[in-house]
Structure 1
């Protein structure tokens, strides 16, 4: 036994080691049992919803008081709590799990296992986010600030279901590129504070810019629909509006106009633009190495 073992390094992992870690994490994720995977996904949906609640509350009533950019920045900083809870607390988030393609591209994860994870986690995220949305509706939190919180929730959701398909798709692409970059940076972290700092800037950026996150939208739009369809008359009087003013806000527009293109965009941005790019750079077997190995079959026998 070495009487003086080396001290563990406090330096962040370098990108090559981050890629190997991401690959191993992907393998571990797909091998979770379905019930544990679903339960962790429900938690992630609720955690992201908590970030959305914080953002909605922080930005309520800011229009006309603060500049657009400052309001968006404050909302983005508030929203960060969602991914912090997911990464540090431990949960399964569909958008972050797009990085499993790194293990898939290395043939350590089958296509079936990859899709199984994505489907179970996506459904679990949906349950967690929508149940949280309904709970917030029942709590009456949307009436706080003389209805300012509810008005902000309705405004956010109405804007999301008013996007055209291409807009929603592209906003979803760039959103999950930043989300997966935040998760990628966390692969190099050595401490909890490292992870938190790695998360804050990419996530605050995507929210401030106005990109579209499918799991966050599973909270933002349903909570507004619950408010629109069930808020008392006093709420509408306080905000000086009616349910008819939010005509685009329907369940069909939620699923077809927003969630469908945003989800497709999130997969493109996370799996292709981040996961496969980093796999190609750090994990792809070199052609030269494969050729040399093929030319020396005796090494395999040994």
Structure 2
């Protein structure tokens, strides 16, 4: 006897359906209560930090070529967005897609900015709190301090980017992140969502693009190690805090987080959100059945 799964369509949604789903999701996100929104944002910051911890760990001591090492780091970093999408959380970079609902007049400018500000703050708290926990865990001293040295080098590299360079790297990053979230809108199952996430997220990490929320963990982790690591750690890695003199909170905010955040908004809200709104949701389109 054949058992049929009545009423379930396993096919992915087509882009026009994805656009309407993304718009509805944007409305729901914008109307969340502030405390729930903030709590979900803290979770997202912690989730992305877990992906960053995973990536830092597996790339420590790698003897692979540059490209393969970056590929491996990007692949494991996917954990962060998989947790955000699968477990449910509010991520600033993904929420740039709320502009689709805003452009259609279903979300006000005030609601849009309220969501972005609260979620950004919650992401920061979750990411930095995770970094503080990792400092106290002393996990950075694993592999005779090589893991901590890797974390320091990652953070130091990020704060030494030029402003324009960091901005463009941020644009490219969030175009890929929002494309991953966009693809998830067409998914019918958890497996679909994971597969939709893997390639865009792996690509942005492997290519060295800049993600504001990930950097809320990567750079504070380096800063905390620089300030709080014992003398024994520096002896293990054969270096001193002076070698990381440009790794400061001021450089974190002004030379990385500011340009990367601007770039993320351009890449996610403008290059993905508004483009797909224009293609599929713009009210003046009529009879455009060929786009379905």
TM-score, scaled to structure 1: 0.93
Superposition pairs of residues 69-84 of structure 1, within 5 angstroms: 69-84=67-82
Rg: which structure is higher?
A: 1
Q: 4+ residue stretches of structure 1 with deviation over 3 A? A: none
C-alpha distance in structure 1 between counterparts of 2:286 and 2:169, whole Å:
39
Structure-1 residue corresponding to 2:168 = 170
Q: Deviation at 1:70?
A: 0.6
Deviation string for 1:95-126 (max 9, x for gaps)?
00000000000000000000000000000000
Structure-2 residue corresponding to 1:296 = none
C-alpha distance in structure 2 between counterparts of 1:265 and 1:98, whole Å:
11
Gaps of 5+ in 1: 290-302
SS of aligned partner of 2:283: coil
Aligned pair partner of 2:126 in 117, 125, 128: 128
Deviation string for 1:48-70 (max 9, x for gaps)?
000000000000111xx210001
C-alpha distance in structure 2 between counterparts of 1:45 and 1:243, whole Å:
27
C-alpha distance in structure 2 between counterparts of 1:170 and 1:23, whole Å:
27
Structure-2 residue corresponding to 1:30 = 30
Structure-2 residue corresponding to 1:60 = 60
C-alpha distance in structure 2 between counterparts of 1:49 and 1:35, whole Å:
21
Structure-2 residue corresponding to 1:197 = 195
Structure-2 residue corresponding to 1:276 = 274
C-alpha distance in structure 2 between counterparts of 1:88 and 1:128, whole Å:
18
C-alpha distance in structure 1 between counterparts of 2:170 and 2:67, whole Å:
20
SS of aligned partner of 2:78: helix
Structure-1 residue corresponding to 2:290 = none
Please say if 1:101 is aligned against 2:99.
Answer: yes
Deviation string for 1:13-69 (max 9, x for gaps)?
00000000000000000110000000000000000000000000000111xx21000
Aligned pair partner of 2:263 in 256, 262, 265: 265
Structure-2 residue corresponding to 1:229 = 227
Compare 231-240 and 261-270 and name the one that shifted more. 231-240
Aligned pair partner of 2:254 in 238, 256, 266: 256
C-alpha distance in structure 1 between counterparts of 2:256 and 2:34, whole Å:
28
Deviation string for 1:134-179 (max 9, x for gaps)?
1000100000010011000000000000001000000000000000
Q: Deviation at 1:5?
A: 9.6
Distance 1:232 1:5, change over 3 A: closer
C-alpha distance in structure 2 between counterparts of 1:113 and 1:239, whole Å:
48
SS of aligned partner of 1:279: helix
TM-score, scaled to structure 2: 0.96
How many aligned residue pairs are there?
284
SS of aligned partner of 2:232: helix
Q: Deviation at 1:286?
A: 2.0
Deviation string for 1:214-261 (max 9, x for gaps)?
000000000110000111111111111111111110000000000000
C-alpha distance in structure 2 between counterparts of 1:179 and 1:287, whole Å:
27
Q: Deviation at 1:7?
A: 2.3
Q: Deviation at 1:6?
A: 4.7
Please say if 1:51 is aligned against 2:43.
Answer: no
